[in-house]
Amino acid sequence: MSQYRVGSYVTHANKPEWGMGKVFCASAPYVLVAFENLEPPDQFKRLVALPGMLMPAAAKSNPVLDAWKLESTHDCRVAGVTEKPKRKKKGE
């Protein structure tokens, strides 16, 4: 079983410039993570889940990362990416 949970927020220990990431798939030995500071399609990284590589982030949400709906294969490859529609505020 993977040590990373789908939906959790992380940072990459060796790539802090990528910013915060969100786990979209976890299937040993792989994890699929989207990082906020990278542009699509490079934003989505399929990584071998090595201990200590991804560190938990304290965040409970992230508007950049939460805007994506991602479909993946059983081995954490991107199968489809769509941007979620933005919610309208009251009165719009």
Q: Give the position of tokens 């989207």.
A: 34
- DSSP string across 50-86: -TTTEEE---S--TTTTTEEEEE-TTS-EEEEEEPPP
Sheet holding 30-35, edge to edge: 44-48, 30-35, 20-27, 9-12, 54-56
pTM of the model: 0.85
Low pLDDT (below 50) residues in the chain: 1
pLDDT of residue 1: 40
Residue in 13, 2, 1, 18 with CA at minimum distance from that of residue 62: 18
